[in-house]
Amino acid sequence: MREYFLDARPLEHPEPLKQAIEILKKLDTESFFYMLHRKEPIPLLALANEHKLNNISHYGEDGNWHILISPNSEVDLEEYIRYVSK
């Protein structure tokens, strides 16, 4: 699986959403998007749900939100989230 990563922590609104949308356009069934953010990106998650994209968000022990999105519904994002949010 190919990972597209965005560290949105230093970015100000609306830049994280803009950049995330550009990345989502590139995704195929062999890739996923991983975003690290200082707050939960509700609009991005709503957009992912609207487009029926597999997604998960988790508030990590590091004080950051870890968000994974993939167009592949068979990808176990729970497995990835445990790995990246440590």
Tell which residue, 66, 64, 61, has the closest CA to residue 77: 66
In the structure, what pLDDT confidence band is assigned to residue 79 with cuts at 50, 70 and 90?
confident
CA distance 64 to 73: 25
Q: What is the pTM of this model?
A: 0.93
Domains of the chain: 2-84 (3.30.110.40)
pLDDT for residue 36 is more than 90 = yes
User: Which residues contact residue 82 at a Cβ distance below 8 angstroms, ignoring those fewer than 6 apart?
Assistant: none
**Alpha-carbon Rg for the chain in angstroms:** 12
